[in-house]
Amino acid sequence: MPLHHSTDSIAARILGIAQDEVRRFGAKRSTLVSIAETAGMTHANVYRYFPSKTALMDAITAAWVQPLEALITEVSDSPDPAIDKLERLFIALARSYRDRLETEPKLFDLFVDAFDEDRAIARQHRSRIRTLLDRVLEEGISSGALQIKHRDRAMTLLLDGLFRFLQPSAIRLDAGINRKAIEGRLATTLTAILSAFRSKIV
pLDDT band at 70 (very low <50, low <70, confident <90, very high): very high
191's CB contacts (< 8 A; 6+ apart) are none
Report the mean per-residue pLDDT for the chain: 90
Cβ–Cβ under 8 Å, residues 148 and 137 = yes
pLDDT in tens, 3-46: 444 778 999 999 999 999 999 999 999 999 999 999 999 989 99
Given a cut of 50, whether residue 49 has pLDDT beyond it is yes
How many Å apart are CA 158 and CA 118, to the nearest integer? 20
Task: Quote the pLDDT of residue 143.
Answer: 84
| Assigned fold of 58-198 | Tetracycline Repressor; domain 2 (1.10.357)
Domain residue ranges of the chain, discontinuous segments joined by +: 1-51, 58-198
pLDDT band at 202 (very low <50, low <70, confident <90, very high): low
pLDDT band at 201 (very low <50, low <70, confident <90, very high): low
Task: Quote the pLDDT of residue 142.
Answer: 85
pLDDT in tens, 93-145: 999 999 999 999 999 999 999 999 999 999 999 999 999 999 998 888 888 88
Please state, for a pLDDT cut of 90, what percent of the chain lies above it.
75
Task: Quote the pLDDT of residue 1.
Answer: 37
Q: How far is CA 33 from CA 37, 51, 187, in A?
A: 6, 13, 46
Cβ–Cβ under 8 Å, residues 35 and 17 = yes
115's CB contacts (< 8 A; 6+ apart) are 122, 167, 168, 169
> Over the range 137-156, which residues count as b (16 or more CB within 10 Å of their CB) and which as e?
bebbbeeebbebeebeebbe
The pTM score is 0.86
187 by Cβ neighbours in 10 Å (0-12 / 13-18 / 19+) ranks as middle
CATH entry 3.40.50.300 includes domain 1-51: no
pLDDT in tens, 149-178: 788 888 888 899 999 999 999 999 999 999
Q: Tell me, what amino acid is at 151?
A: R
**Residue among 60, 30, 35 at smallest CA distance from 46:** 35
Radius of gyration of the chain (CA): 20
